[in-house]
Amino acid sequence: MMEILEGSHAVAEAVRLCRPQVVAAYPITPQTHIVEALASMVADCKLDAEYICVESEFSALSACLGASAAGSRVYSATTSQGLALMFEVCFNVAGMRQPIVMTIANRALGAPLNIWNDQQDSISLRDAGWLQFYAEDNQEATDLHFIAYRVAEDHRVLLPVMVCFDGFILTHTYEPVDIPSQEAIDAFLPPYKPVNILDAKNPMSLGMYATPDYYMEFRYEIDQAQKRAKEVFAEVGAEFAKQFGRDYSGLVEGYRLEDADMAFIAMGSICGTVREAIDEMRAEGKKVGLLKIRSFRPFPSEEIRAALSGVSKVAVLDKNISLGQKGAVALEVRDALYGSEIDVKGYILALGGRDVRQADIKAIAGLLEKGEGDQFFGLRTEVL
């Protein structure tokens, strides 16, 4: 049913519909409203789950790992410093192949302390083995949770997923969202069927020590599962589209790219503002388009190559920076397009919540036309 609600509450509703059996999380801005809502649902018997109150994010994800290893469907949510505190556990969850779904309410990392949005937090965990999906609006953030559990728990994948949506910009925004019925989600997302579980009656070990004779093969297996996740994501997305009429089957999604000379590449809520700017530039006769990246892990290199085949210039918008290098998305897009003639320029913007307007997107198009890029955009030079 279509209703108007806060992004965090839409996500909490989505999580409830997924019927997680264990939720462990530690509140942190701007994720707090999600876990508050889930705690209320458990207290009010609207969600039949064990809600574990923990003293830190390290414990939150550790509790999730144990519960998942025991065969439960598990959920957590965090952001920024909280995700940083989970760093070690994140690698363990993927290494033990536990299909945990965790929402990331994307936020900048300190120091200096900053509670506002960028995507440095999840991007910094890109090598942990988790799949990472980014939502453009609250409908997509809601729907990606249903898809995330299906993909994570698929026996061809068995990897955890971060569903990333921009802190405040989406988490604290009220907008209309269609919340599916429980019956419809039950039909789409059956109960979790684990392959192996920790069971005292049938003892086995998990996440044990691997010597140099075996460790590399474990890493190889995770990489293979990431690659298989592409196909599974497309399959599950197509099935979701059939049932619910909203299509997320593409790891990337193009907008007005058909005859474009120039394309933006972006992830998350900024894509909406980019679409608005593209419509304005199109009206002025500029052939521009957008390629939105929905799945950052696995990274859609082939899909990007195919989508940009007719384009000559690309502006990659990064709400993160690999300090001493460039934005993470720009680097990976350049790798995907290696050997092509396409001119790829990166722009670091919106760090720590700096607002982005249509005029900024148009200004970046102007820089790209002049061949200027691989730079910060919107710096206040007067305070430097």
Q: Is 246 in the site for another protein (CB under 8 A)?
A: no
Among 173, 249, 322, 340, binds another protein (CB under 8 A): 173
**In this complex, which beta carbon is closest to another protein, that of residue 125 or of residue 257?**
257
Q: Among 319, 307, 134, 126, which Cα is nearest to 226's?
A: 126
Q: How far apart are CA 34 and CA 351, in angstroms?
A: 23
Q: Is 322 in the site for another protein (CB under 8 A)?
A: no
Q: Are 22 and 72 in contact (CB under 8 A)?
A: yes
Q: Is 355 in the site for another protein (CB under 8 A)?
A: yes
Among 4, 195, 197, 216, binds another protein (CB under 8 A): 4
**In this complex, which beta carbon is closest to another protein, that of residue 98 or of residue 142?**
142
Q: Is 13 in the site for another protein (CB under 8 A)?
A: no
Which one of the spans 87-95, 170-178, 236-244, 371-379 is the region binding another protein (CB under 8 A)? 170-178
Hey, which residues between 118 and 157 contact another protein (CB under 8 A)? 137
Q: Is 261 in the site for another protein (CB under 8 A)?
A: no
Cα distance from N-terminal residue to C-terminal residue, the chain: 50
Q: Is 270 in the site for another protein (CB under 8 A)?
A: yes
Q: How far apart are CA 123 and CA 296, in angstroms?
A: 9
Q: Is 168 in the site for another protein (CB under 8 A)?
A: yes
Which one of the spans 41-49, 174-182, 195-203, 341-349 is the region binding another protein (CB under 8 A)? 174-182
Amino acid at the residue 313: K
Amino acid at the residue 133: F
Q: How far apart are CA 96 and CA 146, in angstroms?
A: 22
Cα 85 to Cα 55, 88, 161, 268: the distances in Å are 12, 8, 17, 23
Among 6, 118, 253, 303, binds another protein (CB under 8 A): 6
Hey, which residues between 86 and 115 contact another protein (CB under 8 A)? 115
| DSSP-assigned letters across all residues of 248-307 | ---SEEEES-TT-SEEEEE-TTHHHHHHHHHHHHHHTT--EEEEEESEEES--HHHHHHH
- Beta carbon of residue 173, minimum distance to another protein (angstroms, whole number): 4
Q: Is 363 in the site for another protein (CB under 8 A)?
A: no
Q: Is 247 in the site for another protein (CB under 8 A)?
A: no
**In this complex, which beta carbon is closest to another protein, that of residue 7 or of residue 250?**
7
Q: Which residues contact 117 (CB under 8 A, 6 or more apart)?
A: 30, 106, 107, 108, 166, 167, 168, 169, 269, 319, 350, 353
Q: Is 372 in the site for another protein (CB under 8 A)?
A: no
Amino acid at the residue 328: A
- Beta carbon of residue 266, minimum distance to another protein (angstroms, whole number): 11
Which one of the spans 43-51, 154-162, 172-180, 237-245 is the region binding another protein (CB under 8 A)? 172-180
Which one of the spans 73-81, 173-181, 199-207, 316-324 is the region binding another protein (CB under 8 A)? 173-181
Does the bond joining 212 to the residue before it have cis omega, within 30 degrees of 0?
no
- Beta carbon of residue 4, minimum distance to another protein (angstroms, whole number): 4
The structure tokens listed for 140 are: 């997509």
**In this complex, which beta carbon is closest to another protein, that of residue 27 or of residue 353?**
353
Cα 30 to Cα 8, 33, 114, 376: the distances in Å are 9, 7, 11, 25
The structure tokens listed for 55 are: 């003293």
**In this complex, which beta carbon is closest to another protein, that of residue 124 or of residue 173?**
173
Catalog residues that contact another protein under the rule CB under 8 A: 4, 6, 30, 115-116, 137, 168-169, 172-176, 269-270, 272-273, 275-276, 353, 355-358
